[in-house]
Each structure stands twice: as C-alpha cells, then as structure tokens.
Amino acid sequence: MTYFLLKNFVLGPILNILFRPWVRGAEHVPKRGAAILASNHLSFVDSIFLPLKLRRQVTFLAKSDYFTGKGFKGALIRWFFKATGQLSIDRTGGKASEDSLNTGLGVLERELLLGIYPEGTRSPDATLYRGRTGIARMALESKVPVIPVAMIDTEKVMPIGQKYPNIQRIGVVIGEPLDFSRFAGMEGERAVLRAVTDQIVYRIMRLSNQRYQDVYASTVRNRLARAE
C-alpha cells in the first residue's frame, strides 16, 4: 500500500512534473509473471525512475549500506527503501553472494519483477562496464526472461557524491526479452555464465549507446579513489 501511495499520489506526480521522464519499449515488460530487468547503473536515482515508468512494482536487490545509515538522512533512506519493497543484500562476496542469489530467486519464485544491475555498482563515469555473472546464474536457475534496460541521462540528475538532484529530463529504454532456455542445466559452467552475462550487457550497450570497457566498474572506482 505504501508503494502504491508513494508512486501514484506522493512522489510519483512530483517526479513526473520536475523531470518529465520518458519511456520507450514498456510493452516488453510482461503484465504478469516473473522476469529480470537488467539495467545499466548511472545514478542512485535509477532505482526510482525505472519503477516510476512501469505499471508493475519492481523489487531491487539493494546494497546493505542503504539500510544501515545513521542520523535523519540514514533513517529516511532506510524508510524509503523498505517502503518501496527493496531488499538488503551483502556484497562482500563468498557466502554473501550465495545469499544474494537465493534472495533474488525468492523474488522470482513469487512471480515478481526483479531489478538487477549487472555491473554490480554505479558507473563512475557513465561508461558501461563488464557484468558480474550472478545475473546469468539467476536467469538460468529461475528459467525466466531477462529484459535489458537502459537508463538515459540519470547521471546528470544525481552524479556520484552530489547531495541534491539537478532538474534534468531523463529516459528509460526497454529492450525485447532475452530467452536463455537453450542453456538450461548449464548454470554451473563458468564459460556459459560469462557468455550469457556478456550478451545481456551487449544488449544494454545497444540500447544505451554507452561506451563499453571490459573491466569491472568496481575496479575503476577503486583506482580513482586511490588516485585522489
């Protein structure tokens, strides 16, 4: 109920007036049943504007930091993520990665839409980076379609490190669903997981027209942090 009220009567109308978001390809999202929405990740606001332009609710796997912030700002962010149905995950690797996979599979088992950022973190410079193979494993185990999504210009609205948004029109481009049923039973093969992940990221690149770099975004972010 909170999600419905926020989207349709509180935040939604304000965001639509201020940012005038446009969407192309919304017909590719199924009206019912499970699916994975695989999106590029340019800004914190991606998780706000993508659900805003779809009729169905989207559940994202959000990093645990969003649920542990302190003070008023931390409490506000925590409330927002919980109110909009986002799920906290630990990205430290190892068992945490397995737990995140199971959390995502649980969402899909309930016939819901699951939002995932294959890059694993926000792009530091609007470049599209190498995808993590967790999305491929999830797609093969759940046997659901993967729908590529491109967020357009959201990095201009809320650049990394900026506290307040810029008023800037943004867009959402949704591609045709990808079917990986031909790889059924092969989710344990690394080469298959990499091939599936690369195909998903390639489709996102075609939709977004981003420059692609075959390195993980986290590697680039760490490199930039050390240089500061």
pLDDT of residue 42: 97
Q: Which pLDDT value is given to residue 3?
A: 82
The pLDDT value given to residue 228: 65
The identity of residue 87, as a single letter, is: L
Inform me whether the pLDDT recorded for 64 exceeds 80. Answer: no
Sequence-distant (6+) residues with CB within 8 A of 21 are 15, 49, 52, 53, 169, 170, 171, 172
Give the chain's length: 228
| Domain architecture of the chain: domains with CATH | 21-227 (3.40.1130.10)
One-letter identity of residue 168: Q
181-199 residue pLDDT tens: 999 999 999 999 999 999 9
Residue 35 and residue 143 in contact, taking contact as beta carbons nearer than 8 Å: no
pLDDT of residue 93: 61
pLDDT at 75: 80
Predicted pLDDT of residue 1: 67
The mean per-residue pLDDT over the stretch 200-213 comes to 98
What is the full DSSP assignment across 120-182?
SS--SSS-EEPPPTHHHHHHHHHT--EEEEEEESHHHHS-TT-SS------EEEE-PPB--GG
**Interval 55-71 mean pLDDT:** 83
The distance of Cα 27 from the centroid of its chain, to the nearest Å, equals 19
Higher pLDDT, 56 or 67: 56
- So what's the pLDDT on residue 85? 76
What would the pLDDT profile of 78-131 be if each residue is shown by its tens digit?
Answer: 887 777 778 877 766 666 678 888 999 999 999 999 999 999 999 999 999 999
Chain segment 7-52, per-residue pLDDT in tens: 888 889 999 999 999 999 999 999 999 999 999 999 989 999 999 9
Reported as a pLDDT band with limits 50, 70 and 90, residue 65 is confident
